[in-house]
Every structure is written in C-alpha cells, then in structure tokens.
Chains A and B, each alone.
Chain A
Amino acid sequence: MDTTWIVIGIVVVVGLWLAMTYNRLVSLRNQARNAWSQIDVQLKRRHDLIPNLVEVVKDAMGYEQETLRQVVEARNSAVNAKGPAEVGVAEAALTAATTKLFALMENYPQLKANDNVMQLQEELTTTENKISFARQFYNDSIMGLNNMVQSFPANMIAGMFGFAVMPHLDIPDAERAVPKVDLR
C-alpha cells in the first residue's frame, strides 16, 4: 500500500519535471527562432533603405562618389549573399560602409537641414541598432537553450525530442573596425 503511493508520487514528480523541461526547451527555441527572423526582417529593411539614402545624398556629396559606390556595392553583395557565413561577412562590410557614409555626411550641413535625409538616416540607424539588438537577444537565448541541451539531466529530454545546439552569431572583425574618415 505504502509503496504504491511512493511509486505514484515518483511517477507524478518525474512526469511534471519532464513536461516542464520540455516546455522550457520549446519556449527557448521559439525565442531564438523569433530573434533570428527579426534579424532577417531588419537586414531586408536595411537593403531597401540604402538605395533611397544614396539617391537623396548623391547630388550634395559630389566629392564622395567613391564612398557612395562602395556603399551600393556592399549593399548589392549583401543582398546576393548566400548562407550564414557569407551573409555575416557581407552585412559586416555593409555596416562598415554605411558607418563611413554617415561620418562623411557630417561634413555637409545642407544634408542636416534636409528632413528627408535626416529621416532616412534615423531609419537606417534604428535598423542597424535593431539588427545588433536582435543578434544580442538571439545569442542570449541560444546560450540558455544550449546550456539546457548540453547539461544533464535536461540533455536526455533534448536528445529524445531532437533539440539541437544552435550556432552563436559572431560578428566578423570588419564590422568592429572603426571606419577611417578623411576630415579635410
């Protein structure tokens, strides 16, 4: 009689733990996927914004055709990049190019007076911030997920239901390099 209750108790506790661990894994994975798709959305938005910005500044920035050309090229290769590794490198190069463009734009007071330019610049700034915040949140999320997937005893459940370690998003060095601005 007593042992029956003990067995029932153990089964209930194990069942509860199983359900909670499984749900935790699911919510962590969804969180990471959500952040991942957010990154995608923002990258596309950046690709759409850049040609507009180049269009409105190109007349005023007559002496910066080379920089503008680099931005457009970086944008096009980012659009055409395939696979996470290639995308990472291309997007980093694009960030470096736009950062340089923003810095150069500081030299053109007439651009600062142009509402259209300021608006586009704000949109690009927020898009780049969103990309890095989404990446940050993605990395934080997968850290929790990966810790669970790899550590005992949750790893047994993870293995049973096919939860895998997700990759950490590293930012290539190019993005961290400070752009060189020639201040005349």
Chain B
Amino acid sequence: MSAPSSAPVASGLASTDFMSAQRRNRRMTRWLLIVLTLIAAGLGASIGAMLEFEGGTASDALSALTGPAAIAGAMLLGLASLLWSGITLALGDRLLAGISGAREVGRENEPQLHNIVEEMAIAAGLPKPKVLVIETEVPNAFATGMRTSRAAIGVTRGLLDSLSRTELQGVIGHEMGHIANLDTRYMTAVGVTVGLIAMVSEIALRAFRWGSFGRSRSSAGDNKKGGGQLILIVVFLVFAILAPIAAKFVQFAVSRQREYLADATSVQFTRNPEGLIGALRKLTEAAKPFPGVSGATQHLFIINPLRQFTSRTWSLLATHPALEDRIARLENLGA
C-alpha cells in the first residue's frame, strides 16, 4: 500500500487513475453548468427581443435578437441563474433531505455498518455521518446532507443482508464520495436553476398567449409583409418551450456525472474497485422500487430505485448511468 513519492496505492492501482477520472468529471460538470447558464441566457435574449421588437422585416427581427433589449434579457437571466445557484452552493442550509422510512440505527444494533462508515469517514477525512437503515429487502443505499459536517448515509436491510464486507465498504465509499463532493448541494443548485428556467418560460408563454407580449402584437395583423414578427415568434416559442426540457436533460446529465464521480471517489477511499463492482452487480440484479422512494429522491440512491438500466440503452432522462458503463469505468481504474 505504499509508493515512495506519490499517493499510496494498492493492488496495482495507479494512484493517478481515480484522480484523473475525478478531474475529467469535475470538468464535465462545469461544462454542463455553462450549458445550463447559456440556456437561461438564450431564453432571456428571446424574451428581450420580443419585448423590444416593433415590427419589420426578417433582418430587423434578427437584429432585434442581438439588440440591446435582447442582450439585457440574456444577461439578466444568465446572471440570475448563476447567482441563484451560486448562493445555493455557497450557503447550503442545514437541510437534511429526508427519505421516508429511513431511521437512525445505533452502534449496538449495527456494529459492522457503523465500523465501515467510520472507516470511510477516516479515509475521506470527514466527520462521521449519521447512519440510517430502511427496512426493505431491496438492496440500495443513499447519502444526503447539504454540508459535510451534517450528513447522513442510509442503507436498506436488503443491502446489509446481501453484500460482503468488502462490497458494503465499496457502497459506503460511494456514498461518502457523494458527501465529500457535496453532491446534494450540487444537485440542489442545479435544480434551483432548472426551476428558474421553467418558471420564466412558463410566465413568458402565458404572457404571450394572453397577447400582452411585445409592443407590436396588435400591428402584427396589418404588417404582413414584415415577416420579421413570425421569425421572432418562432425563435421565442422554440426557446420558451425547449429551454425547460433542455435544462432538465442537463440536470440529469449532471446527476449521471456525479454518480461516476462518486464511484471514482469510492475507489480513492477504498483503493479497491472490486468491492464496488461486486456490489453494483448484486444491487442491479435485485433492483426494484420500494416504499419511501419517489421521483424527487431517486437521484440520492446508489442505483436508480425506480427504473432499471441494465442494458446500455442510453437515456437522456436517467439520473444514473447504465450499470455496464459504471462497471467498465471502475474496471479501467483497476486495470
């Protein structure tokens, strides 16, 4: 378990593998957040252009899209989404998102589980999180908490019954990875921005339908030869309708990236990808929904409790990557 001048390594595991995996992942998350901000800015620009446009030809419409009102709209909404998610990330309140049916267990009832959580907390250099158990035979696990000092790790009874110690350690390492990487806070910040985009689109679409939108609405009928109006309306509608959907896709993509990141972080802690690989196989085989999970909490779990993605059918709407892809990446770390 030692190398003279670099981080300690085990079983032929190059010390930099998980680190570069983590770096790639963080870079990917940053890009996705930029895309999210651009979606918000595009929506703001199309709204601004609609508000400013006074009728005219197609080229007038195009210049309105880059006019001062459009730019102001883009900056306003782009900045608002950046600020809003930034504030969420920076503050991170004391909220501990609850999973119904999970209750805290004492060390005397689950000594081994407590031991493994302590081991992973030491490996992460973080305080020990609360330990929760959900009484269901479906094996799964989750982590929650907006700050590292106030977090919780929960496992189901089925997980405790079906996994070996090493596999359980891999799973707890994954959950500790979510806590160390501040994923609950991350996903809350992304969710807040996605919510902002959805809200603004909704308001803009309603205003448009009621006809109170754009100074030239009334003149649209008598100014048929302009054609610019139509172009702008199409651009606006495309943005207002597609922006919330695109934002949702980005949200799920971020969620998948954070799952990969937590897998890599688990290997950083345990220095042993085999435990997590074995656990993921067992978990996926036995996966099915259980009381206490919903669409709102599905991203918290180590494997998606609501939908099964055993095949490599890549889904834009998945909170978790396909199992094969996760295992393939883990095997790369161990190669």
Contacts and interface: CB of A to CB of B under 8 A. Distances in A.
Contacts of A137: 122-125
A119 interface: yes
Given A140-B7, A170-B2, A170-B4, A122 B122 contact: no
Nearest to A132: B1
A31 interface: yes
Contacts, number: 59
Interface in A1-48: 31, 34-35, 38
A141 B111 CA distance: 29
Interface residues of A, number: 27
B125 A141 contact: yes
Greatest chain A CB density within 10 A among B6, B123, B124 is at: B123
A180 B141 CA distance: 37
A123 to B, nearest CB: 8
A116 B5 CA distance: 42
Interface residues of B, number: 22
A135 B123 CA distance: 9
Interface in A158-183: 168-171, 175-176
A143 B8 CA distance: 10
B271 interface: yes
Given A119-B111, A125-B165, A133-B269, A168 B119 contact: no
Interface in B119-145: 119-120, 122-125
A169 B118 CA distance: 21
Interface string A113-138: 00000010011011001101111110
B246 interface: no
A170 B4 CA distance: 7
Nearest to A169: B2
Given A31-B125, A139-B8, A126 B1 contact: no
B115 interface: yes
Contacts of B115: 122-123, 125-126, 129
Contacts of A140: 7-8
Interface in B206-243: none
